[in-house]
Amino acid sequence: MTETKIGMTIEESSEYTGIGRNTIRKLVEWNKLPVLRVGRKVIIRRDILERFMAANEGRNLRNEHDVKAVRN
């Protein structure tokens, strides 16, 4: 039986989306991608990540002003 995790680390999010770890860290720093912080660990919900991907299709994720923020 395989279970799908609802929350992923930055590394897991990077593997899941194909977006680089440093780019995901920048998106979190810019408050474009909401996260849950547990100590030093950052958790990103899968559904929010998928909404973020859909909202930013065709945008340059390395340009802070071009990225659309996603809220809970």
Q: Round the average pLDDT of the chain to a whole number and report it.
A: 94
For the chain, domain boundaries: 1-72
- Partnered with residue 24 across adjacent β-strands are none
pLDDT tens figures, 34-58 = 999 999 999 999 999 999 999 999 9
20-to-1, 15, 23, 45 alpha-carbon distances in Å:
30, 8, 5, 17
pTM (predicted TM-score): 0.89
Q: Which CATH architecture group holds 1-72?
A: Orthogonal Bundle (1.10)
pLDDT at 5: 86
